A and B are shown apart, each in its own frame.
Chain A
Amino acid sequence: MDKPLDLLQGTLDMLILKAVSLGALHGYGVLLRIQQISKDRLEIRQGSLYPALYRLEHQGWITSEWGESENNHKAKYYRLTAAGKRRLRAEADKWNRMANVIAGILHATPEEV
């Protein structure tokens, strides 16, 4: 298996929004879901996950409430807000456009220039 990729700067927030858009998750669950969807090809520093969650909550993209985990522990669950939904759409759109542009540049051949 390839060595996991480090996250690109600024993409963690978008990935967290996407992860919680699929259903409420606690912090560890966010980590697992991203790893699961990416099939372990992304390396997320666990320590950087919580500051990002707190930042997103402070900005109003996600909200949190305390609940019970699968094995009956007290855990804090994060959910996407309406503003967060709009934000995720905007971020994803921006990311796709950017990726297209970059890919276009990288695929350029001498004949096209």
Chain B
Amino acid sequence: MTLWSRLRSWSRTTLGRSRMESDMDTELRFHIEAYAEDLVRRGLPRPEAMRCARMEFGGIELAKEECREARGVSFLESLAQDIRFGLRMLRKSPGFTAVAVLTLALGIGANTAIFSVVDAILLQPLPYPHADRLAILFSSLGNEHRAPASGYEFKQIQDRSRLLEQIGGIWVTNGTITGTDDPQPEPVKMARVTIGFLSIVCNRPALGRLFTPQDAAPTISIAVVISSGLWRRKFGADPKIVGKLPTLAIPP
């Protein structure tokens, strides 16, 4: 088939829809009438001949439908037909519709949930400055690949690594803290960190200061940075807390 005839036929179908319908009507009616006239010539009474001609032709509507298809129904038209048919079928069987909608809802819901987790954990950058340049180092000990590093080990890495700009150490533990606002001791996740650790993951604290080399001096025994949540919960968001040491219980 040439592209031209295909295009012409298609555009005629799309643009001249009503014209094509009436043409088709005229053509089929002519056929039936011509056949009926032949039957009349052979001696049949006219009404009988018309009835006979119609019967022998078979389903006119079916033939018309096949003609429309043969001519190439336009894409939009068949799409609209399909959608209408789909909606009609859905209305006809509400049970199936409910199951289908529920299945879709569950599927979409589960996907959304999984995606939000994946997005938060894997796709979104960490909420730290220079998140793309952060790395975690673990030390390994025997079969344990996430063993705590010793202070000596940390110092060696810090002094000898030329790969990393800044290195901070963190040793996480559990302890309890007692606030001024709420006298109940609360078990919290706490960590011992090296001087430089917090400045890697935090530009500046909301109140007070991060650790400085003075904090490492032997005379000063302990300095604490607490989270904003803890500050609100246990200390009533008191700004004057800066410089005071809270009551801590830290395992040795």
By a beta-carbon cutoff of 8 Å, the part of chain A in contact with chain B is 26-28, 31, 45-48, 50-52, 54-55, 57-60, 69, 71, 73-76, 83
Determine whether the beta carbon of B9 is less than 8 Å from that of A58: yes
B34 contacts partner chain A, Cβ-Cβ < 8 Å:
yes
* Chain B residues, CB < 8 A from A28: 30-31, 34-35
Q: A53 to B33, alpha carbons, bound, how many Å?
A: 19
Bitwise, B60-73 to A at CB < 8 A (1) or not (0) is 10110011011110
Question: A45-B58, A50-B67, A73-B34 known; A83 and B23 CB under 8 Å?
Answer: no
Question: A54-B67, A58-B70, A60-B2 known; A76 and B27 CB under 8 Å?
Answer: yes
Determine whether the beta carbon of B67 is less than 8 Å from that of A73: no
Determine whether the beta carbon of B58 is less than 8 Å from that of A58: no
Determine whether the beta carbon of B30 is less than 8 Å from that of A75: yes
B28 contacts partner chain A, Cβ-Cβ < 8 Å:
yes
B37 contacts partner chain A, Cβ-Cβ < 8 Å:
yes
Determine whether the beta carbon of A47 is less than 8 Å from that of B27: no
Question: A46-B56, A60-B1, A76-B27 known; A51 and B33 CB under 8 Å?
Answer: no
* Chain B residues, CB < 8 A from A73: 30, 33-34
Determine whether the beta carbon of B70 is less than 8 Å from that of A55: yes
Within the complex, the shortest CB–CB distance from B145 to chain A, in Å, comes to 70
The 8 Å CB contact of A50, one of B5, B9, B63, is B63
A-B contact pairs, 16 of them (CB 8 A): A27-B30, A28-B35, A46-B58, A47-B62, A50-B28, A51-B66, A54-B66, A54-B70, A54-B71, A57-B71, A60-B1, A60-B5, A60-B9, A69-B30, A73-B33, A83-B5
Secondary structure dominating the interface of A: helix
Q: A20 to B139, alpha carbons, bound, how many Å?
A: 89
Determine whether the beta carbon of A69 is less than 8 Å from that of B9: no
Sample of 15 more A-B contacts, CB < 8 Å, known A46-B58, A73-B33: A28-B30, A28-B35, A47-B62, A50-B28, A50-B31, A50-B67, A51-B66, A51-B67, A52-B70, A58-B9, A58-B70, A60-B6, A60-B9, A71-B37, A83-B1
* Chain A residues, CB < 8 A from B96: none
Instruction: Considering the complex, give the chain A residue whose CB is closest to the CB of B9.
Output: A58
Q: A60 to B1, alpha carbons, bound, how many Å?
A: 6
B171 contacts partner chain A, Cβ-Cβ < 8 Å:
no
Instruction: Considering the complex, give the chain B residue whose CB is closest to the CB of A59.
Output: B1
* Chain B residues, CB < 8 A from A54: 66-67, 70-71
* Chain B residues, CB < 8 A from A57: 9, 71
Determine whether the beta carbon of B34 is less than 8 Å from that of A58: no
Within the complex, the shortest CB–CB distance from B57 to chain A, in Å, comes to 5
Q: A96 to B236, alpha carbons, bound, how many Å?
A: 100
Q: A47 to B67, alpha carbons, bound, how many Å?
A: 10
Q: A51 to B27, alpha carbons, bound, how many Å?
A: 12
